[in-house]
Amino acid sequence: MRAHSSKKPHRQLVVITGLSGSGKGSVLKAFEDLGFYCVDNLPLDLIPKFADLCHEPGSHIQRAAVVVDIREGDVLSRLPSTYQGLHRKGLKLSLVFLEASDKILMRRFEETRRPHPLGRDLPVREGIRLERMLLKPMRQIADAVIDTSRMNVHELREFVQIRFGGLKTRRSLLISVVSFGYRHGVPPDADLVFDVRFLPNPNYVASLKNKNGRDRIVQRFMDKYPQTKEFEVRLMDLILYLLPHYIREGKSYLTVAVGCTGGRHRSVALGERIADDLENEGYKTKLVHRDIGKLSA
């Protein structure tokens, strides 16, 4: 069974990084407008100390955002390990990575007539290529990757406000997560449909056949396969990218359907995970296992 808890971490720290010219300054300003305590270009070695300061009893800093980027030089290669270490600080953490296409970044550098921070003697195109390569490890562990290629300043700030602006905005949208079996038909009211029939099927394991995706033994079976977690991470990245856009368009109800063959094992387990992930992000969710009680043919 899913365990629901209203207890959330009280203090929040957002680490912002990404490519030069991708809009980190605009994002930091958006966080400042949301009431975050903001620090630009905080030295990497000071981030754990800053996190300790935020977490100290009596600290007035409830929500903070810091920018760390290529201006740190070679030290930036330690950001992934530093960020992972922050999870021990008891804060609600997010790593936001900003990027844009090479064409857009080059145009922005031309408009501002600024050299690339990796060096005045380095052509801008080469600087972008090198920076993208150096920042790849940070992008891989980011909780949110924002491509600003087609965003203006106002759209970027609106995205941040919807994504990080608190529960009030997010709770204007009710998300129904429905697990189902393709054998019994796709839910007709589904807005987003995801097929998980590529995952290993517990139905073919004798000891699991009569269980379902809410049973811990079934979840452990699926967790043995790395594609299960990778799919969950990739799927949540997509859903969390889409939700602010649905909210901006005024949508108040969204149905996310997850299907496997019979609707008893894989779709149920993934539906549980997705609903929990969405609740942890502050969205209202309703979970329905449509076909969990139906016998396999």
What is the predicted pLDDT for the residue at 9?
47
Residue 273 belongs to a domain:
yes
What is the predicted pLDDT for the residue at 176?
94
What is the predicted pLDDT for the residue at 6?
42
**Pairing relation of β-strands 12-18 and 37-39?**
unpaired
Percent of the chain whose pLDDT exceeds 70: 93
**Over 90: is that where the pLDDT of 217 sits?**
yes
Residue 237 belongs to a domain:
yes
Question: How far is Cα 139 from Cα 99, in angstroms, rounded to an integer?
Answer: 9
Query: Is 275 found in the same domain as 153?
Result: no
Confidence of residue 57 (pLDDT cuts 50, 70, 90): confident
Query: Is 271 found in the same domain as 233?
Result: yes
Residue 31 belongs to a domain:
yes
For residue 173, the enclosing domain spans 169-289
- Rounded to an integer, the average pLDDT of 247-251 is 78
What is the predicted pLDDT for the residue at 82?
92
What is the predicted pLDDT for the residue at 64?
94
What is the predicted pLDDT for the residue at 297?
47
Q: Among the three residues 142, 165, 188, which one is the final residue of a domain in this structure?
A: 165
pLDDT, tens digit (0-9, with 9 covering 90-100), for 150-186: 888 888 887 888 778 766 667 778 899 999 999 999 9
Query: Is 183 found in the same domain as 78?
Result: no
Confidence of residue 4 (pLDDT cuts 50, 70, 90): very low
This prediction has a pTM of: 0.60
Instruction: Report how many domains make up the chain.
Output: 2
Query: Is 46 found in the same domain as 153?
Result: yes
Query: Is 235 found in the same domain as 190?
Result: yes
Query: Is 179 found in the same domain as 141?
Result: no
Query: Is 220 found in the same domain as 145?
Result: no
Query: Where residue 23 sits, what CATH number does that domain have?
Result: 3.40.50.300
Residue 294 belongs to a domain:
no
- Rounded to an integer, the average pLDDT of 5-13 is 61
Query: Is 143 found in the same domain as 23?
Result: yes
Residue 85 belongs to a domain:
yes
Residue 115 belongs to a domain:
yes
- Rounded to an integer, the average pLDDT of 211-238 is 93
**Over 70: is that where the pLDDT of 27 sits?**
yes
Cβ–Cβ < 8 Å for 228, 273 = no
pLDDT, tens digit (0-9, with 9 covering 90-100), for 75-132: 888 999 999 898 888 788 999 999 999 999 999 988 888 888 887 677 888 989 999 9
Residue 4 belongs to a domain:
no
What is the predicted pLDDT for the residue at 7?
44
What is the predicted pLDDT for the residue at 166?
66
Residue 6 belongs to a domain:
no
- Rounded to an integer, the average pLDDT of 198-224 is 93
**Over 90: is that where the pLDDT of 216 sits?**
yes
